[in-house]
Amino acid sequence: MSRRIAIVGGGLASLVAYATLRKGGLEPADIAVFGTDLDPAADFRRRAGAIRQRAMRSESDGHAAAASWPGLAVRSALRRRDPAPLVATLFDRYHPTVGEFLDHLAGVRERTAWDESFVRERIRRVRAVEGGFELDGHGVFPHVLLAPGHPGLERPAELAGDPRAVHAYEPHDYADRVTVVGAGMAAATEWLNALAAGSSVVSVRRREPERRPLNLPRPLFTRRGPASFHRTGVPQRVALLRSWSSPSYPCGRAWDEPLEDARRSGRFSVVPELNGAEQIICATGFHRGFRHDPLLAKLVADHGLETAEDWIVLAPDSTVPGLSDTERTLALAGVPGQWAFPAADTLAGAKYAARRFLQRVRRCPTR
Amino acid sequence: MSYTLRGRLESRLAAALAPLLAAAGLALVLREWWPFALAALMVGVGVVADLAYDRLVAYQPGWLALPLGAAELGLVMLAARATDVNASLVAALAFFVGSWLLAQVLGHAVFPLLRLTYGEDGGELGRLGVVSVTAVFVVVVGGGAIAWSTQPPTIRLEAGVYDGPLVLDHAQKLVGEPGTIVRGGIVVTADDVVVRDLTVVAEENGIEVDDAKNVVLERVEISGATLDGINVRRSSVRIRDCLIHSPADEYAQGIDISFSIHRAPSLVEGCVIVGGYEGIVTHSALVEIRENRVRDTSLRGIAITEMSMGTARENDVRNGLGVGIYCGDYSHCLIERNAVSGTRPDLASSNGTRMGYGILATFGAEATLRENQLTDNHRRTRAFADARIHRVD
């Protein structure tokens, strides 16, 4: 294979990276994208459909295109010939619908010729070799971006094998009495879904969710936040990442009023522990940590990479220290990249890793 | 966006580079320093504001650009006033708004396209930022040095009495200390002259300005004039905070600005004029007369006449004989938010237009009146001889 750049993973972070590389002047023939589903939006579509998500939590710049501008609000305003999205985005109130977002992803996929670079293979092992990285017999690539996505759905251990339990991101309907475990965005969406379906809802949570518009405080999405984050020592950084991983969902009447109405009529309650219920929806997100991802776990074991609890220690530009130099690059994007960028599991985080990966590729004399 | 301090400064200065160069070019074309001075003030205020924003605004939503821009506009206007930048208000506003809009377009659309990491780098522009900052520094420092080196000299008069008339026939600043008195008046015949903090004991005219532009008369006290306290011909002046009193002839006037319609507008602001024939009068001139106090005149308090175009705004005219504020002889006058009181009829005159009018328009003049307070005048307002008064209260 003559391609010199590999993206391992076929989801949104990979699409963002691919679009960024293409914007940086690389051709489809230069890049191989290894994934299991040709559609980079497949996982997102499935999960959003499962929780009946209608609008994105992200805002205008939560998109997969390489450049921040034009954002989704501008695109929507132009398409609808309506300035309302522009006004909304001035106040950080513009949230694209899931449909708009999926259309946008399809457009990026088409414009960037994603399909031309796609290789339907699951990469199970990445090994550093002379001149780059060997990918499971698919050749040696000087520059590799790993974007393996979330390593599977997280379920409470006590619900293993319980026929009443279903994960929020799996297809499901709502029984008359529903217990929702968790307190993040998916849980809040499920509370409202179940109430709208006529169910009574019990929210099981051990701590109160934080209320904030995005899943991390806004300054963490730019250098202003990570600059101080990068200056922290290992224990402090682990503590920060743990604190930022606490569940949260946005503020606003659209969330509060249905819950308050239901609480008053006795259809919504909060308890700390599970009890008898017809249906248990686990809105508990994903497994956390590189050990749950076989590819990353092998990478760490094979090369003795430095880790800190659940995280692989990365350089500030999301590359793996010791395996990246002037002639080769190994970078992590998506949720495994949190050591470099706390909001790595967002579109902004995917761009952070992708843009720095592009810079490394451009600087490399053997590109 | 959450800017870093460096990002704010680089974005600010990169966006300011084009307006700054345009201002420098305009200054060269007009042979006036105000466009460059205004642009440099804008940059200076912006940089200081950025230092404050960095501490106060961790995250800046889009809407916040508007109130912050308005606040910066106010600061730039104050700074322009404090540093005596001689810019027209409309031109200054247009320049600021244009620059602000350009900065918004660059910050929201162009910079993110030029530099993919612009947003997540907190507005930092990398090499482009360094080049922009350097370029702005070079232009401001270079232009400022040229401006400084070509500034007129400042001549300070120590306290004491000086025999006049002093003739100022080249650009200069003449500044007095408390207790500085010039007897016999001052004559200005050159552009870019500033006269400040002086007391003038006049013979005929207190200060005479002839065929000069960009002349500033500030905090001057004039007494004893037999013709005009300040006499301006074929010139554009800014007269601020003057005191004119004790005329030595019953026909002496306070300020007379005439035959200057071809010049930039003149300004009379914050002056006190007591006594005399006419307090402030213009003939064939572009003028703004605002926030003055005129007392005890024997012909008219404020007169805008002989095809002048002028504004009389927020003046306080009291105890005049005949007419308080006058718009005459095909002039166009905007007369708003003035207080005119105690205007008495000139019973010794057989002229019906002098019967104690608070505001009067005559001989084809067009006067627009808005929100004036007329109290205790013998008569309120009237138009004579094809003049028209438009009320927009």
| Same-domain status, B230 and B339 | yes
Res B393: pLDDT: 67
The pTM (predicted TM-score) of the whole model is 0.74
Cα separation, B200 vs B184, whole angstroms: 7
Res A1: pLDDT: 46
What domains does chain A contain, in order, with CATH numbers? 5-152+288-363 (3.50.50.60), 157-209+247-282 (3.50.50.60)
Residue with the larger pLDDT of the pair A180 and A274? A180
| Same-domain status, B60 and B164 | no
Asked if residue A349 lies in contact with residue A341, where contact means CB atoms within 8 angstroms, the answer is yes
| C-alpha closest to that of B393 among B341, B347, B337, B318 | B337
Structure tokens at A315: 């350089």
| Same-domain status, B256 and B377 | yes
| Same-domain status, B57 and B169 | no
Number of domains in chain B: 2
- Across the interface, whether the CB atoms of A67 and B4 are under 8 A apart is answered no
**Mutation site, B108, B120, B125, B127, interface A, largest A CB count within 10 A:** B120
Q: Is the pLDDT of residue A217 over 70?
A: yes
Average pLDDT over residues A35-62: 95
Of A67, A91, A223, the CB nearest to B121: A223
Q: Provide, rounded to the nearest whole percent, the portion of chain A with pLDDT above 70.
A: 99
Q: What pLDDT digit, counting tens, does each position of B151-190 carry? A: 888 999 999 999 989 999 999 999 999 999 999 999 999 9
A351 touches B: beta carbon within 8 Å: yes
* ipTM for the whole predicted complex goes beyond 0.90: no
Res A160: pLDDT: 86
B1 contacts in chain A (CB < 8 Å): 222
Of A69, A91, A219, the CB nearest to B112: A69
Q: What pLDDT digit, counting tens, does each position of B197-256 carry? A: 999 999 899 999 999 999 999 999 999 999 999 999 999 999 999 999 999 999 999 999
| Same-domain status, B183 and B136 | no
| Same-domain status, B248 and B292 | yes
Q: Is the pLDDT of residue B317 over 90?
A: yes
Q: Give the Å distances, CA to CA, from A249 to A79, A108, A209, A281.
A: 29, 28, 7, 17
Res A2: pLDDT: 66
CATH number for the domain harbouring residue B338 = 2.160.20.10
Q: What pLDDT digit, counting tens, does each position of B323-380 carry? A: 999 999 999 999 999 999 999 999 998 899 999 999 999 999 999 999 999 999 999 9
| Same-domain status, B86 and B234 | no
Asked if residue B60 lies in contact with residue B34, where contact means CB atoms within 8 angstroms, the answer is no
Torsions phi, psi of A176, nearest 5? -65, -35
Torsions phi, psi of B16, nearest 5? -85, -15
Task: Tell me the one-letter amino acid at A70.
Answer: P
A66 contacts in chain B (CB < 8 Å): 116
Tell me: cis bond preceding A85? Omega within 30 of 0 counts: no
Neighbours of B95 (CB within 10 A): 21
| Same-domain status, B62 and B114 | yes
- Across the interface, whether the CB atoms of A358 and B116 are under 8 A apart is answered yes
| Same-domain status, B81 and B163 | no
Domain encompassing residue B109: 5-149
**Distance from the A225 Cα atom to the nearest Cα atom in chain B, whole angstroms:** 8
Torsions phi, psi of B50, nearest 5? -60, -40
CA dihedral (B3, B4, B5, B10) in degrees, to 10, reads -70
Q: What pLDDT digit, counting tens, does each position of B89-144 carry? A: 888 899 999 999 999 999 999 999 999 889 889 999 999 999 999 999 999 999 88
| C-alpha closest to that of B176 among B193, B194, B197 | B197
| Same-domain status, B316 and B382 | yes
Res B86: pLDDT: 73
| Same-domain status, B71 and B205 | no
A60 touches B: beta carbon within 8 Å: no
Q: Is the pLDDT of residue A367 over 60?
A: no
Q: What pLDDT digit, counting tens, does each position of B12-57 carry? A: 999 999 999 999 999 888 878 889 999 999 999 999 999 999 999 9
Which residue, B149, B182, B213, sits at the end of a domain?
B149
**Mutation site, A91, A94, A224, interface B, largest B CB count within 10 A:** A224
- Across the interface, whether the CB atoms of B116 and A218 are under 8 A apart is answered no
Cα separation, A109 vs A275, whole angstroms: 45
Cα separation, B386 vs B329, whole angstroms: 10
- Across the interface, whether the CB atoms of A90 and B63 are under 8 A apart is answered yes
Asked if residue A68 lies in contact with residue A61, where contact means CB atoms within 8 angstroms, the answer is yes
Strand A140-141 to A132-135 pairing: antiparallel
A222 touches B: beta carbon within 8 Å: yes
Helix (H) or strand (E) holding B278, with range, is strand B278-283
Cα separation, B282 vs B287, whole angstroms: 8
| Same-domain status, B141 and B188 | no
Cα separation, B14 vs B166, whole angstroms: 48
SS3 annotation, chain A: CCCCEEEECCCHHHHHHHHHHHHCCCCHHHEEEEECCCCCCHHHHHHHHHCCCCECCCCCCCCCCCCCCCCHHHHHHHHHCCCHHHHHHHCCCCCCEHHHHHHHHHHHHHHCCHHHHEEECCCCCEEEECCEEEECCCCEECEEEECCCCCCECCCHHHCCCCCEEECCCCCCCCCEEEEECCCHHHHHHHHHHHHCCCEEEEECCCCCEECCCCCCHHHHCCHHHHHHHCCCHHHHHHHHHHHCCCEECCCHHHHHHHHHHHHCCCEEEECCCCCCCEEEECCCECCCHHHCHHHHHHHHHHCCCEECCEECCCCCCECCCCCCCCCEEEECCHHHCCCCCCCCCHHHHHHHHHHHHHHHHHCCCC
How many residues are given for chain A?
367
Average model confidence (pLDDT) for chain A? 94
In chain B, the residue whose alpha carbon lies closest to the alpha carbon of A222 is B120
Cα separation, A243 vs A235, whole angstroms: 12
Res A273: pLDDT: 84
Average pLDDT over residues A275-296: 92
Task: Label residue A88 by pLDDT band (50, 70, 90).
Answer: very high
In chain B, the residue whose alpha carbon lies closest to the alpha carbon of A61 is B119
Which residue, B112, B132, B149, sits at the end of a domain?
B149
Which residue, B149, B180, B211, sits at the end of a domain?
B149
